[in-house]
Amino acid sequence: MFDFQEGEVLLIDKPLDWTSFQVVNKIRYAIRQKLGVKKIKVGHAGTLDPLATGLLILCTGKKTKTIDQIQAQEKEYTGIIKLGSTTPSFDLETEIDKTFDTSALTEELIKEAAQRLTGDLEQIPPSFSAKKIKGQRAYDLARKGEMVEIPPKPVKVYEFDANCADLLNIDFRIRCSKGTYIRSLARDLGLETNTGGHLTKLRRTKIGDFDVNDALSIEQMIEVINQG
């Protein structure tokens, strides 16, 4: 039995095209309806972009106090980085703006580049990100066509496994610290290989000991809430 007021940690497998806030609002509404209350605390422990899927952790009631602790844990992602072209957002949110010659690409070149992107890094976040620049979200400025300069921040990449069966579409698994932008790593892999690169698929699989294999879809979670 759930006790949402006292606090629960809910594991959601976020679908494509949903924002993290939409998921929170949907689950909050379901809990309010079930309990017959006007207010209930519900928050998420780490945003996932609309174009990403996978593990989104929601905390309710008093468990919202643990959000910072959960967010600080190591994360794991899988996905695909496309080499040979770039986009302003480093992913599929924006159209391709440049293409590059990929004739010199080899598996060795890609794996060496991924190795250089492992360890302690000074990473430049994407212009299309939620970072605040003089009180405004960077993505709001970027979408207006304004130049956005975001200072680098320290992050750590524990593992960057690159499957090079398809040299232009790198199937990866990355373990990293809080605050690491996988889109930026896609951009950086393109820079390191002199081919350009952007993210075409992203799935968060783990946060600390929490695993997406233990998560429920939004519909399944709502059904569980309604049942008890």
Measured CA to CA, the distance from residue 97 to residue 5 in angstroms comes to 49
Q: What does the alpha-carbon distance between residue 181 and residue 46 come to, in Å, rounded to a whole number?
A: 12
The count of other CB atoms within 10 Å of the CB of residue 53 is 21
**Residue 49 designated active-site:** yes
Spell out the per-residue pLDDT of the chain, length 228, in tens: 789 999 999 999 999 999 999 999 999 999 999 999 999 999 999 999 999 999 999 999 999 999 999 999 999 999 999 999 999 999 999 999 999 999 999 999 999 999 999 999 999 888 766 666 667 776 666 666 776 777 899 999 999 999 999 999 999 999 999 999 999 999 999 999 999 999 999 999 999 999 999 999 999 999 999 987
Distance, in Å, from the CA atom of 9 to the CA atom of 64, rounded to the nearest integer, reads: 9
Which of 13, 49, 91, 188 is labelled catalytic? 49
Q: Same CATH topology for 9-72+209-227 and 75-207?
A: yes
Cα–chain-centroid distance for residue 23? Answer: 15
Backbone angles phi, psi at 70, to 5 degrees: -70, -45
What would the pLDDT profile of 137-196 be if each residue is shown by its tens digit?
A: 766 666 667 767 778 999 999 999 999 999 999 999 999 999 999 999 999 999 999 999
What is 75-207's CATH number? Answer: 3.30.2350.10
Percent of the chain as helix, strand, coil, to the nearest 5: 30, 30, 40
**Domains of the chain: which residue ranges?**
9-72+209-227, 75-207
Residue 29 three-state SS = helix
Of the candidates 150, 146, 143, which has an alpha carbon nearest to the alpha carbon of residue 126?
150
SS (HEC) of 165-217? CCCCEEEEEEEECCCCCHHHHHHHHHHHCCCCEEEEEEEEEEECCEEHHHCEC
Domain 9-72+209-227 has CATH 3.30.530.20: no
Residue 227 has phi, psi (to 5 degrees) of -80, -25
- Would you tell me the crossing angle of helices 182-192 and 107-116 to the nearest 10 degrees? 130
Cα separation, 133 vs 83, whole angstroms:
29
